[in-house]
Structure 1
Amino acid sequence: MSWDDNWSASAACRNTSDELFVKGAEQNRAKQVCGRCVVKAECLAEALDNRIEWGVWGGMTERERRALLRRRPNVTTWRSVLQVAV
């Protein structure tokens, strides 16, 4: 599988407005959009590499991303990690 550098054009959420930038239980519904997305890994790498603090990105909430960043503080580029996982 190849990595899509222009991932946002293929994102399942590309035509949504603010539904991925919600709080609480609404985040679980937002994550469902990511479940069917073909560029989920690219999106998540973008959020992790840039330390984006708000919204659901790549199927993870900001809390989940912070926890992942704490567990793997030495990762300098998440693309390399997630590209292997895809």
Structure 2
Amino acid sequence: MGATSVSWQDRGRCRDLDPDLFFPPVEAESTEQRHAREGAAKAVCASCPVQQECLSWALSNRERLGVWGGLTERERQLLTANRRRATRVMAAG
């Protein structure tokens, strides 16, 4: 992947932060810990100038882990499923 294809990452608010904020730890975390970590990550994303580019990249590359563009793994899975469902409805309709 060339540098120009990910140059949005250079403008991300997360670029100088600890990646552990955005990705689950290797060891188990409690539900409360996960919600706190994800909430803090989402707060960073909320004011990020490249939030949409980040989310688009994560969806296009099927990024499985972490908070990307303000969405968790589960939220991205639901978004993708809803988009597929909408596409099928439009095609059938």
Same fold (TM over 0.5): yes
Letter in 2 for 1:55: G
Q: TM-score, normalised by structure 1?
A: 0.75
Q: TM-score, normalised by structure 2?
A: 0.70
Instruction: Quote the residue 1:17 is aligned against.
Output: 18
Q: Flag the structure with larger Rg.
A: 2
Residues 21-78 of structure 1: per-residue CA shift (max 9 Å, x gap): 1362121111101011000000000000011010000000000000000011289xxx
CA distance in 2, matches of 1:8, 1:42: 9
Post-superposition, which runs of at least 4 consecutive aligned residues in structure 1 deviate over 4 A?
none
Identity score, percent: 41
Instruction: Quote the residue 1:43 is aligned against.
Output: 54
State whether residues 5 and 42 of structure 1, in contact with CA within 8 Å, keep that contact through their aligned partners in structure 2.
no
CA distance in 2, matches of 1:32, 1:21: 14
Larger helix percent: 2
Q: Which runs of 5+ in 2 are unaligned?
A: 87-93
Instruction: Quote the residue 1:54 is aligned against.
Output: 65
Q: Which runs of 5+ in 1 are unaligned?
A: 76-86
Asked whether 1:73 is paired with 2:84, we answer: yes
Aligned residues: 72
| RMSD over aligned Cα atoms | 2.1
